[in-house]
Structure 1
Amino acid sequence: MDESGPPCKRCTERNLSCVLNKSLQTLIEERSQWKTTVTSDLEHIHSALQEVLGRLSLPSVPPLQTSSNQFVPSPQDDAVERDDIGPSCDNSPRVSPRDDALVHVPIESLYQITRLRALRSDDAGEEQQPPPRRSSHHPVSDFISHGLVSVEDAERLVNLYLNRIDHFMYMIGGSKYRDLESLRRGSPILTAAICTVAALHDPMSNHLYGVCSREFRRLMAASMFDRRIDRDHMRALCIGSYWLHDISWTLSGYAIRRATEVNLSSNFHRVLVENNEEAMDCMRIWYILYICDHHLSILYGRSSIVREDASISGWEELMKSSAFTESDKRLVSQMALLIIMSNVRELFGPDTGEPVPRAFATQLSNFSRQIDQWMGQWTTELLKLHQFIGEFPTKGVILHHHLAKLHLHSHVFRGLKGAPVPAYFQDSAVAAVSAATSIVEMLLSDYDIREGLAGIPHYIHSMIAFACVFLLKVAAQHSGHYIDDAVVLELTSKAVQQFRSTAVGKWHLVHLMADGLEKMAMRKIQSPTAFQHPTVPNGAVQASMQYVDSNSTLPPINNGNGIYGNGMMGNSFEDDLNMSGVPFLHFDSGNIDFSFGGFGL
C-alpha cells in the first residue's frame, strides 16, 4: 500500500499507477505554509506601524482583516484535498509494544492494516503538553484586538471572573492566569469562555454578552474536528457546561468524549504515586466534568455518561496527597453527594408514568439517612471562611442537602396524576415539601446564598426553580394538605422579587425565572384572601439592577408589596399543574423549557 495516500481520481478510473499524489500533497502543504508565513509577516508590519503612529500621536490604522489564526483554505483547496488526497495516513506508523501481541481493542487492528491517523488514540500524556505560547512581543489577534470588545471591558470581565465567579467552580477555570494579557496569550477559546460567563453575570455588560457568546461558539465550532485539544480548551468546555444553561448539555457530552480520548482519569494513579500537580490538575477537570454530567442527568432525567470507576469512587484517597488543596476539598464534597444521587437515579430509573413501588420506602429512608450523614460531615469540613465568597462553602452544603432531599423524596408523587399520596409514602411527601420550603426560605433569608445567585452554576438555579414550581403544584393538587396555599404564594412572590433584584445580566437565568414564575403564579389566583403585603427580607439586594421584561403585561414588582392582588390558589388548575411527568418548568421569557423527568413530577 502506498502510505503517501490513495491515488487520484484520474489514475483510479484508468487503473494506472499514480505518480502525482505525493507531489500534489507537497504542493498544497507548501502553499498553505507560504500563506501562513505571509500573513504572519503582515501582522509584524502592522504591529510596528501601529507603534510608530502611536508615538507620533497619529491615528492608528484599521485592524488587519486576516491573521494566521483565521486563515481558512479556499473552497478550491478543500475540493482538491477531498478529491485527490483522502484521509491522512501515518507515513511512519506508531510502533506499539502490543503490535506483535493479540490486540484486545478492535480499532487497533483496523489502524494496523490501514494506518489511518484518525483511528489511533493519543497517549494519555499527550494532552498534557502545553500549547506553544505567543511571545510577549508578538501581537495577539483575537476578538479583542479586532475591536469587538474593548480592552477595558475585557479586563473588567476577566477580573470579575478570576476574582469571584471562578471560586464557585473551585478555581478550575482560570487559576493559572493572573490577568487578561496572560489569558489572551495562553488560550483564545478560554478567553472567550471566561468573557462570556462574566458578561452573563455582569449587569453592565448586556451589550457584550452576545459578542462574547458568538466568539466562544465560533471557536468551539472551528475546533470540533481538531486532532488534539489542550487542557485550557478543556477548561473552556467545563466553564460552558457549568454556567451556560442553553449549551451545557452539548458541551458536557463533547467534553467528556474528548477527555476519554486522552484517558484523563488515568491521572488518578499518578497523583497517588507521585503527588504530581499536573496530574492533580487533570483530575480536577475530570471531576468537574463528572459533576456537570450528573447535574444534567438530575435536571433532565437522563442517564449520565461518566460512571463511578476507581478514579471517581476513590476521591478520598486524593485527600492524602500533598497536591490536594482547600478548593479541592469543596470539589470532592460534591463528588460524594453526587455518588449518592447517582444511586438514587439508578434505583428509580426513568419516569414511565407509573407510581413508585411500596417496596422502595426502605430505600428512601436509607438514602435520606446518607444525605444527612453527608451534610454532617461536610458542614464540619468546610467551616473555614472563604476569602472571596464568604461563608458560601458551608451554607452551600446546607443548600445542597435540601436540594438532594427534594430530589429524593419528590419521587413519591410520580405517577399519581393528582391522586392522594399513599399512606406509606406520607413521610417522604412531607419531607419533599419541607425541603422545597427550606430552599426558598434559605434563598430569601441567608445573605451568602442570595449573594451566591450571581456565581452559582445553572444547576442550582434550576433546582431553586424546581422547588418553587413544586410548591405551586403541591398547593394546586393537594391544597392545604402539606402547606398552606397562602404560604406558597408569599414565598413565590418574595422569590420573584429576589430574582428580579439580583445584580446580573438580563439574559441570566434568575431574571428569566422571575418573569416565568410570576406569570405561573398569577394564573393560579382565585380569591383575594391569600396573604397581605409580602416583603423581601432585610439585606436583600434591591437597587443594583431592576430588569423587567418589556413584553410582559404584568405590573412590575415594587418591593414585593401586594404584587398578586392578594390572591388565592385553588384546585381548579390541575390541567396546568399536572404533576405526572409533563414538562413543568416553562418560562415564557427566554423560551426556556426544562423537562425534569428525573424528579418524577
Structure 2
Amino acid sequence: MAEAGTKRSFQQLQSPVPGSENDADPSSERIGPKISKTVTACTECQKRKMKCDLGARGAICGRCEKKGLQCVVNKSLQSLLKDEAQWKREVESDASMTREAVSEILKALDLPALETFRQRCLVPRENSLASLGDGRLAANVKFSSYKESPGNAVPSRRVPATMAMTRENSQEPEQDEAKSSTIIADPMRSLYEVTKLRNLRSNPQSRLRQRYTSSEDDFISSGKVSPQDAEHLFDYFAKYLNAYLWGGIALVHADLMAVRRSSSLLLAAILTVSALHVPGKESVFDICYAEFVGLICDSMLDRYHTLDGIRGLTIGAFWLRKLSGHAVRIATELNLHQSYSRAMKGASENFEGARLWFLLYVCDHHFSIAYGRPPVIHENNTILNHIKFLQLPQVTQSDERLHSQVAMFVILTNIYHTFGPDIEEKLAEGDLARVEHFNKRLDQYRAHWQERLAPNRYIGSYPAKGVYLHHQYAKLQLNSLAVRGFKLDFANISSARRELASIATSSAVMILQMTLEEPDIRNAIVGVPLYLHTMITYATVFLLKIYRRWDNTHLGVDFAEIQGLVSRVIELLESVKASQRHLAYHIASGLSKMLNRFTAIERQGSKVIPTAQETTSSRDSSYPPAAVGDVGDIRPLASYSDMVDYDQYFPFGFFDVLSATIPE
C-alpha cells in the first residue's frame, strides 16, 4: 500500500483494489473511476485561484461580468459520464420501441420474425456490394460510378461483379408450399429447397405484394421532368392512351403520386409513352425514354418484381420497344401463368394476376405472329378456356375488349402453326380448303365479339369498330397465303386461289377505307399501339405489290384506286398531331417514297422496279425522321430512332407473302 502522502501512479489507479466490490462479484458490471469533485468555477477564476460565484448567479460569475470576460465552465469527467448515461438510456428506450413496432409490422405482413434477420449483421462490409440484390430494389441503387448525364443520356450504371450467393433468412417453407398438398414440385424448386440460395429464384416475399418506392428519389423530384409536365402526361395517358389499351388493365392507379410510390418503371413507361404522343414534348420524351431504358437494364437481374413493374414493361412494349419477352419472363417468375386457375377456384387475390397474364398474351402475339416469329406464350388450357374468365363477378368491359383480342390471336396462332412460317412455301390446292375453314372462324369471331363491346367515353365506338378492323386484317393475313410462294414465271392460277387472293385484296382496301372514313379510327391513329400501324402499313404495301405482280389475273385491282387510297393515307399520317418521334411520320415518309417508285414504274410501263437510287421522293414529309443527334446518344442501347427499325414494317415476315417474289 502506498505511503501516506505519496501519490499513486496511473496504473495503480486503474488496477482493482483488493477486497473491493468488484472482486466479491466478478459478474457485476465494471464501475468506472469514481470522481467526487464537481467543477463549480469558471476557467478564468480557476486560473487565478479565486472564488467564483457562478453557482449562485447562474449564467455568468461576477468577476467575468465585471471584466467583460467569457465565463466558461469545463465539464468534468463526472458530468460527461452523467450525460452519456442519460443518452444511452434514451437510445435503449427508442431501440426497444422500434423493435416492438417492427415486430408488429412483420407479424401483420406475415413475414419471418425479426430474429431471423440477425445474420445479416454478420455479413462483412466488403461483401455488402455483392448482396445489394438481397433486400433492395436495383432500380433505386446508385453505385459509386453513378453520375447524372446531361439531357437524354442514360446514367452510367455498374453492375456488381459478383453474384449474391447468400441463403434465405428463414429456413421455413413458403406459405404457398406449406398449403400445397402435392409432393410433386418443379425440379428447380427441389434444388432451391436443398441449397436455399437466393439467386435460384425470385424473392418469394415479393410475389403479388405491393412494394412502395420513394417519390423523393425519382426523376421528377430530381428536376429532370417538371411536376406540371408529369401531371399533364399522366392525365393524358389515364384518359386517352389507357382507353386504347383496353382501359384499366395496364393502369390501376388513380393519380400520379400513387404511381410514383408504386413503381419507377411504370412511371417512366407512362410518361415516355405519353410524351411520344403529345406535340412539342420531344425533349421530355428523350429524358423519360433515357430513364426508362436505364430502369429496364436494372430490372434484368433484379430479384424483386411487382405487377406494376410488369405493367410498365408491357406499356413500353405496346408503344416503344419489343419488351414482351422480358415481361413474360418476369411474369412467370411471379407465377402469373397459374393465376387463372387459382382465380377460377375462387382465389380473388389472383384476379389481377390473371388479367395481366392475358394482357401479356396479347402483347406477346402483337410482336410475334405478324413478324413471322413463334410466340412465347402458348395456347394451353388457360388461353383456350379464356372465355370462362369472363364469368367472374369482377369482370368489366375492359376484360371483354381484352378477351376479344385473345380470341383473335388464338385463331391467328392456329393459322401460323397450320401453314408454317416459310414465306417461300407454296400452299397446295388441298390446303385452300383449310383456308376457307379459317375464313369461317374469323367471320364467327366478328359476329360474336362486335356486338359485345360497348362505346367508350374517351374513344367512342372504337372498341366495336376495332373488332371489325382486326377481322379484316386477319382475313388479309389469312387469304394472302393463297398466293404465297408463286414465282415470276407462273402461268396459271386456279379459280379457288384467285378467289382467296381477291378476298385478301378486298380486306386490304377495306382497312384503308375504314382508316380514312371512320372518325373513331382516324382519331385512333395517334393513340393506338403499334399493331394498328402494322395493319395500315401492311395493307398499303400489299396492294402496291399485288398490283405490280398480278394485275393481269383479274383480281379487280385498279392502280388509280390504289394510288388514291395510299395518297390519302399518307396525307392522314402526315397531318396527325403528335411528337415528331411518333411512328406515323416515319411511315408516311416511307410510303411516300414507295408510292413514287411504283408511280414511276406505271408511267414507264415497266415491270422492273427501279432501285432506290433511281427514284427520289417528290413528296417531302414535313416531319422527317429524327436524326440520331436529335434524339441523343443513349447508352448502352442505341437511340430511339436507331432502335425502332422503321424498315421492318415493310415487309412483315410470315404474312408478307410477296417478299420472296418482288425485288425491292
2:654 to 589, 598, 601: 598
Secondary structure of 1:285's aligned partner: helix
Secondary structure of 1:523's aligned partner: helix
Secondary structure of 2:438's aligned partner: helix
Do structure 1's residue 206 and structure 2's residue 282 form an aligned pair? yes
- State the Cα distance separating 1:116 from its structure 2 match: 2.2
Give yes or no for contact 1:243–1:457 (8 Å, CA) kept in 2.
yes
1:503 to 574, 577, 592: 577
1:157 to 227, 230, 233: 233
- State the Cα distance separating 1:422 from its structure 2 match: 3.7
Q: Distance in 1 between matches of 2:344 and 2:121?
A: 51
1:119 to 200, 217, 235: 200
Pairwise CA RMSD of aligned residues? 3.4
Change (3 A) 1:493 1:204: same
Give yes or no for contact 2:131–2:164 (8 Å, CA) kept in 1.
no
TM-score, length basis structure 2: 0.67
The letter of the residue matching 1:395 is K
State the Cα deviation string for residues 73-117 of structure 1 (Å, max 9, x = none). 569xx999857x862233644536699997653323433443322
2:125 to 21, 24, 27: 27
Query: 1:514: which partner in 2?
Result: 588
Change (3 A) 1:24 1:279: closer
Change (3 A) 1:432 1:109: same
Give yes or no for contact 1:468–1:492 (8 Å, CA) kept in 2.
yes
% same residue: 33
Give yes or no for contact 1:301–1:350 (8 Å, CA) kept in 2.
yes
Change (3 A) 1:258 1:30: closer
The letter of the residue matching 1:597 is G
Matches within 5 A, 1:403-422: 403-418=473-488, 419=490, 421-422=493-494
Kindly tell me the number of residue pairs found equivalent between the two proteins: 487
Matches within 5 A, 1:209-288: 209-244=285-320, 247-248=321-322, 251-274=323-346, 276=348, 278-288=349-359
State the Cα deviation string for residues 37-76 of structure 1 (Å, max 9, x = none). xxxxxxxxxxxxxxxxxxxxxxxxxxxxxx993422569x
- State the Cα distance separating 1:423 from its structure 2 match: 3.3
Do structure 1's residue 313 and structure 2's residue 377 form an aligned pair? no
The answer to which of 466-475 and 315-324 deviates more is: 315-324
Structure 1 unmatched ranges of 5 or more: 1-20, 35-66, 531-551, 559-585
- State the Cα distance separating 1:394 from its structure 2 match: 1.0
- State the Cα distance separating 1:454 from its structure 2 match: 1.3
1:181 to 234, 257, 262: 257
Query: 2:368: which partner in 1?
Result: 297
The letter of the residue matching 1:289 is L
Q: Distance in 1 between matches of 2:139 and 2:269?
A: 21
Query: 1:88: which partner in 2?
Result: 166
Q: Distance in 2 between matches of 1:412 and 1:229?
A: 45
Q: Distance in 2 between matches of 1:338 and 1:166?
A: 21
1:131 to 211, 217, 222: 211
- State the Cα distance separating 1:228 from its structure 2 match: 2.0
Change (3 A) 1:30 1:520: closer
Q: Distance in 1 between matches of 2:231 and 2:181?
A: 55
Q: Distance in 2 between matches of 1:355 and 1:284?
A: 39
Secondary structure of 2:254's aligned partner: coil
Query: 1:575: which partner in 2?
Result: none
Q: Distance in 2 between matches of 1:118 and 1:33?
A: 10
Give yes or no for contact 2:469–2:511 (8 Å, CA) kept in 1.
yes
Give yes or no for contact 1:409–1:431 (8 Å, CA) kept in 2.
yes
- State the Cα distance separating 1:169 from its structure 2 match: 0.9
Give yes or no for contact 1:497–1:557 (8 Å, CA) kept in 2.
no
The answer to which of 436-445 and 217-226 deviates more is: 217-226
Change (3 A) 1:426 1:140: same
State the Cα deviation string for residues 305-345 of structure 1 (Å, max 9, x = none). 11112221122211111110011111111111111111111
Secondary structure of 2:648's aligned partner: strand
The letter of the residue matching 2:350 is A
TM-score, length basis structure 1: 0.74
Query: 1:576: which partner in 2?
Result: none
Change (3 A) 1:174 1:463: closer
Do structure 1's residue 322 and structure 2's residue 393 form an aligned pair? yes
Change (3 A) 1:425 1:72: same
The letter of the residue matching 1:143 is F
Q: Distance in 2 between matches of 1:524 and 1:319?
A: 48
Q: Distance in 1 between matches of 2:343 and 2:139?
A: 38
Give yes or no for contact 2:476–2:505 (8 Å, CA) kept in 1.
yes
State the Cα deviation string for residues 214-235 of structure 1 (Å, max 9, x = none). 1111111112111120111011
Query: 1:386: which partner in 2?
Result: 456
Give yes or no for contact 1:297–1:303 (8 Å, CA) kept in 2.
yes
Q: Distance in 2 between matches of 1:79 and 1:467?
A: 45
Q: Distance in 2 between matches of 1:590 and 1:240?
A: 16
Change (3 A) 1:422 1:214: farther
Give yes or no for contact 2:206–2:305 (8 Å, CA) kept in 1.
no
- State the Cα distance separating 1:131 from its structure 2 match: 0.4
Secondary structure of 1:274's aligned partner: coil
Q: Distance in 2 between matches of 1:329 and 1:426?
A: 36
Matches within 5 A, 1:348-363: 348-351=419-422, 353-363=424-434
Change (3 A) 1:100 1:112: farther
Secondary structure of 1:380's aligned partner: coil
- State the Cα distance separating 1:450 from its structure 2 match: 0.4
1:554 to 599, 618, 621: 618
Q: Distance in 2 between matches of 1:387 and 1:101?
A: 48
- State the Cα distance separating 1:555 from its structure 2 match: 3.6
Structure 2 unmatched ranges of 5 or more: 1-118, 133-137, 147-156, 605-615, 623-640, 659-664
State the Cα deviation string for residues 239-261 of structure 1 (Å, max 9, x = none). 011111xx21xx11111111111
The letter of the residue matching 1:350 is P
- State the Cα distance separating 1:279 from its structure 2 match: 2.1
Query: 1:105: which partner in 2?
Result: 186
Give yes or no for contact 2:592–2:619 (8 Å, CA) kept in 1.
no
Q: Distance in 2 between matches of 1:388 and 1:353?
A: 44
